[in-house]
Structure 1
Amino acid sequence: MLSIVKGPYLQNPAEHCITVMWETSLPASSRVDVLLAERIHSGYQGNYKLPDKPFGTFTVGSESRIHQITVEGLEPGTIYYYKIHSRNESGEIESKLYMFKTAAGRGVPFSFTVTSETGGYSGFDATDGLINQRIFSQMKQYRPDIALFVGDVVNDGKNDEDWNTYFFGPGRDFFVDTPFYSCLGNHEDNASWYYDLFAFPEPRNYYSFNYGDVHFVCLDSTDLIKEKDYPYSSGVMGPGNPQYDFLVRDLESSSARWNIVFFHYPPYVSGGYQVEALRQLCPVFEEYGVDLVMNSHTIVYERSHPLRDGIIDYDHGIVYIVAGGAGAMPDWLLPKREWHTSQSLAVPHFLQVVVTTDRLELRAVDDQGWLFDQLQIRKNTEGRRDFI
Structure 2
Amino acid sequence: MLSIVKEPYLQWPTLHSMTIMWETSEPSDSRVEILAAERIHSGYQGNYKKPEQLLCEVYSEDYCTIHQLTVTGLEPGTIYFYKVGSKHGQGEIESGPHPMKTAVRKGEPFSFAVTSETGGYSGFDSSNGQINRRIFKQMQAFRPDLALFVGDLVNDGTNYDDWDTYFFSPGKHLLTNTPFYSCLGNHERNASLYYDLFAYAPPKNYYSFDYGDAHFICLDSTDFIKPEHYPRSSGGMMPGNEQYDFLIRDLQSSFAKWKIVFFHYPPYVSGGYQVEDLRQLCPLLEQYGVDLVFNSHTIVYERSHPIRDGVVDMDNGIVYIVAGGAGAMPEWLLPRREWHTSQSLAVPHFVQVVVTSTSLEVRAIDDEGRLFDMMRIKKDFYGKRTFL
Looking at structure 1, the residues matched to 294 and 58 of structure 2 have their Cα atoms a distance apart, in angstroms, of 36
Q: Does 1:177 align with 2:173?
A: no
Q: Are residue 149 (structure 1) and residue 165 (structure 2) matched?
A: no
TM-score, normalised on structure 1?
A: 0.98
Q: CA shift at 1:236, angstroms?
A: 5.2
Question: How many Å separate the matches in 2 of 1:273 and 1:323?
Answer: 14
Identity across aligned pairs (percent)? 69
Residue 42 of structure 1 deviates from its aligned partner by 11
For 1:75 and 1:49, the matched residues in 2 are separated by 19
* Superposed displacement of residue 49, structure 1: 2.4
Q: Which residue of 2 aligns with 1:213?
A: 213
Amino acid at match of 2:77: G
Deviations 1:27-59 (A, max 9, x none): 00100111102234899xx94322222101111
Indicate the residue corresponding to 1:333 in structure 2.
333
Find the counterpart in structure 2 of residue 15 from structure 1: 15
- RMSD, aligned CA: 1.2
Unaligned runs of 5+ in 2: none
Alignment-derived partner of residue 84 in structure 2: 84
Shift of 1:10: 0.3
Which whole-Å deviations, capped at 9, do the CAs of 1:135-190 have from their partners, x for residues lacking one? 00000000000000000000000000000000000000010100000000000000
- CA distance in structure 1 between the partners assigned to 2:157 and 2:97 by the alignment: 30
SS in 1 for 2:186: coil
| Secondary structure, counterpart of 1:95 in structure 2 | strand
- The letter for the 2-side match of 1:224 is F
Distance in structure 1 (CA, Å) of the matches to 2:22 and 2:237: 37
Partner SS, residue 156 of structure 1 = coil
Structure 1's unaligned 5+ residue stretches are: none
Following superposition of structure 1 onto structure 2, how do residues 315-330 of structure 1 map, counting pairs within 5 Å?
Answer: 315-330=315-330
Deviation at 1:242, TM superposition (A): 1.1
| Bigger mean CA offset, 236-245 vs 344-353 | 236-245
Q: Tell me how far apart the structure 2 counterparts of residues 38 and 134 of structure 1 sit (CA, whole Å).
A: 31
Corresponding residue of 1:6: 6
Please give the secondary structure, in 2, of the residue aligned with 1:96: strand
- The 2-side partners of 1:114 and 1:347 are apart by 14
* Structure 2 match to 1:288: 288
Q: Is the 8 A contact 2:12 2:200 kept in 1?
A: yes
Tell me the distance in 2 between the aligned counterparts of 1:16 and 1:348.
Answer: 35
Distance 1:186 1:41 in 2: 48
* Alignment partners' CA distance in 1, 2:95 and 2:7: 9
Q: List aligned pairs for 1:297-308, cutoff 5 A.
A: 297-308=297-308
TM normalised by structure 2 equals: 0.98
- Can you list the C-alpha shifts for 1:200-252, whole angstroms capped at 9, x where unaligned? 11110000000000000000000000111100011151111111111010010
What do residues 79-124 of structure 1 show as CA deviations (whole Å, max 9, x unaligned)?
A: 1111111001221111131110001110000000000000000000
The answer to whether 1:130 aligns with 2:163 is no
Q: Structure 1 counterpart of 2:81, which letter?
A: Y
User: What is the CA distance between 1:380 and its match in structure 2?
Assistant: 1.2
- 2:209 maps to amino acid: F
1:155/1:42 CA distance change after superposition, 3 Å: closer
User: Displaced runs of 4+ in structure 1, greater than 6 A?
Assistant: none
For the Cα contact (< 8 Å) 2:51–2:97, is it kept in 1? Answer: no
